Amino acid sequence: MNVIDLVNREQRKDQVPDFRAGDTVKVYSKVIEGGKERVQMFEGVVTVRKGGGSTESITVRRIAHGVGVEKTFLLHSPRVERIEVSKRGIVRRSRLYYLSEKVGKAARIREKRTSK
């Protein structure tokens, strides 16, 4: 086995949940402010999930005070503490770049109803 493959396998996380573009997720990431470290939550819609292995990343979009904010997270980074899936969305694309042009109710994504 290749040395790079071994290093990538060691750095991967096991507890990454199953989600895709269109799902609403909460990403808990560690932030260092001054000398202290705290956990900050970022909740939004997954617009892009790209890459593979230990370099896989997601882009999460949300509206904060009327302004669209997009953040990119590395899934297997030690800075990302955990990811929770809030809602499942019904979309027909794997990359939702068209959401950046939509505003208000036009930017909504239909929710997939699950029976419990």
Give the sign of the dihedral formed by CA 33, CA 55, CA 19, CA 15.
Answer: negative
Q: Which residue has the higher pLDDT, 21 or 114?
A: 21
Residue 116: per-residue pLDDT: 67
Q: What is the pLDDT of residues 31-46, one digit of tens each?
A: 999 999 999 999 999 9
Q: What is the pLDDT of residues 68-88, one digit of tens each?
A: 899 999 999 999 999 999 999
Phi–psi pair at 100, nearest 5 degrees: -70, -25
Domains of the chain in start order, with CATH, are: 20-100 (2.30.30.790)
Rounded Cα gap, residues 98 and 102, in angstroms: 7
Residue 94: per-residue pLDDT: 93
3 state SS of 55: helix
Residue 96 CB-density burial (10 A; 0-12 exposed, 13-18 middle, 19+ buried): buried
